[in-house]
């Protein structure tokens, strides 16, 4: 079972007075960020009903910014709004994982192709540095959710496509990666160990720096699909069905 989310504000946020719109937005952004992190890290299980007063108590925030934060998270697809009945954590399914995987592959491919066309020496150096840092910090089953590895892994993948020149495209990629990584973390927590993904980062770097677009795209898409297959293996058919049934 996921662990209880941690509190984020101390001392407790006071009730908002009239004219405190800026403070409300600040509280809403803070709670939105923390709730998103807790959902993406599996601390709130898929399908969990989010009781507003309990959330106010847990995160030490007042009701108005909490509602604003939940509405924003619904727009990101991390929570589902159920009319007047409130909010639930977004569900998971094999079909949705497949959707996230293939959409990510297409978005990442566009960004990588553009980066290979546009990237300069600084872009190449950033890729080499990101790959070196990641390779020096392997995952361990002693730490199922490792924030340091997560950051290094994301930084490596972003470094590959960071020269695409399109900020909205990068934004789409980050949201898709958040969704994909949520499935991976949930699967790891369910199975108790990390996926056994083929070590292809080095081959991807070599192909990208050689400006071999076709090979780069092939290796990257295979890497993402292999990761998705490993996620399904970690979940197992029964675990994934059980997760869906709890929703």
Give the range among 74-83, 100-109, 166-175, 234-243 with minimum mean pLDDT. Answer: 234-243
Cβ partners under 8 Å of residue 199, min gap 6: none
pLDDT in tens, 22-58: 566 677 888 899 999 999 999 999 999 999 999 999 9
Q: Domain check: are 180 and 61 in the same one?
A: no
Considering the domain architecture, whether residues 84 and 153 belong to the same structural domain is answered as no
Domain closes at, from 67, 89, 111:
89
- Residue 160 and residue 79 in one domain: no
* pTM of the shown model: 0.83
Is 214 contained in some domain?
yes
pLDDT for 151 equals 96
Residues 185 and 72 in one domain: no
Boundary (domain end) residue, out of 57, 89, 121: 89
Q: What is the helix (H) or strand (E) element at residue 81, kind and residue range?
A: strand 79-81
Instruction: Identify whether residues 152 and 218 lie together within a single domain.
Output: yes
81 and 113 both lie in a single domain: no
Q: Which two tokens stand for residue 149?
A: 């590895």
Q: Are 140 and 46 found together in one domain?
A: no
User: Residue 170: helix, strand or coil by DSSP?
Assistant: helix
Residue 13 lies in a domain: no
**Quick one: 72 and 151 in the same domain?**
no
Cβ of 240: how many Cβ atoms within 10 Å? 21
Q: Is the C-alpha dihedral spanning 149, 195, 92, 50 positive or negative? A: negative
- Per-residue pLDDT, 12: 39
Q: Do residues 83 and 48 share a domain?
A: yes
Instruction: Report the CATH number that the domain containing residue 182 is assigned in CATH.
Output: 1.20.120.530
The domain total for the chain is 2
């Amino acid at each position: 079972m996921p662990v209880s989310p941690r509190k984020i504000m101390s001392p407790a946020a006071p009730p908002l007075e009239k004219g405190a719109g800026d403070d409300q937005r600040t509280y809403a952004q803070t709670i939105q960020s923390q709730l998103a992190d807790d959902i993406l890290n599996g601390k709130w299980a898929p399908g969990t009903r989010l009781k507003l007063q309990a959330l106010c108590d847990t995160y030490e925030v007042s009701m108005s910014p909490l509602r604003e934060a939940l509405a924003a998270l619904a727009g990101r697809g991390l929570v589902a709004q159920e009319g007047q009945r409130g909010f639930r954590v977004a569900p998971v399914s094999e079909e949705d994982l497949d959707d996230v995987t293939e959409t990510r592959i297409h978005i990442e491919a566009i960004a990588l192709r553009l980066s290979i066309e546009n990237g300069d020496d600084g872009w190449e150096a950033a890729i080499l540095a990101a790959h070196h840092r990641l390779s020096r910090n392997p995952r361990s089953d002693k730490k199922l959710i490792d924030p340091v590895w997560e950051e290094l892994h994301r930084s490596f993948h972003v470094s590959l496509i960071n020269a695409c020149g399109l900020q909205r495209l990068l934004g789409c990629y980050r949201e898709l990666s958040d969704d994909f990584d949520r499935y991976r973390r949930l699967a790891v927590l369910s199975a108790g160990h990390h996926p056994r993904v083929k070590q292809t980062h080095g081959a991807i770097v070599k192909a990208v720096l050689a400006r071999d677009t076709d090979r780069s795209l092939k290796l990257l898409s295979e890497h993402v699909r292999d990761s998705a297959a490993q996620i399904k293996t970690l979940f197992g058919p029964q675990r994934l069905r059980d997760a869906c049934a709890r929703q």
